[in-house]
Amino acid sequence: MTMGITSVTSSTPSAASQSTQTKSLTSNDFLQMIVANLSNQNPYDAASTTDMMSQYESLANFEATQEMSSTMQQTTPSSLVGKTVSVTNSSTGVSDSGVVTSSRLDSSSNDVMVTVNGTEYPLSSVYSYSQTTTSSTSQ
Q: Write down all domains in the chain, each with its CATH number in brackets.
A: 77-130 (2.30.30)
Supply the DSSP string of 58-96, one letter for each residue. HHHHHHHHHHHHHHHHHS-HHHHTTSEEEEE-TTT--EE
Residues 21-56: pLDDT tens digits? Answer: 556 667 677 778 778 877 887 777 777 778 777 877
Integer Cα distance of 38 and 51 in angstroms: 11
Q: What is the pLDDT of residue 135?
A: 56
Mean pLDDT confidence for 117-122: 90
**Residue 101 pLDDT greater than 90, yes or no:** yes
Q: How many residues are there in the chain?
A: 139
Task: Write down the mean pLDDT value for the chain.
Answer: 74
Integer Cα distance of 28 and 30 in angstroms: 5
Mean pLDDT confidence for 77-86: 84
Q: What is the pLDDT of residue 108?
A: 86
Is residue 119 within 8 A of residue 97, CB to CB? The reply is no
Residues 3-26: pLDDT tens digits? Answer: 444 444 444 444 444 445 556 667
Mean pLDDT confidence for 122-134: 81
Integer Cα distance of 5 and 100 in angstroms: 69
Q: What is the pLDDT of residue 75?
A: 58
**Residue 84 pLDDT greater than 50, yes or no:** yes
In terms of average pLDDT, the best of 47-51, 57-61, 107-111, 113-117 is 113-117
Whole-number Cα distances in Å, 60 to 17, 37, 51, 66, 105: 39, 17, 14, 10, 34
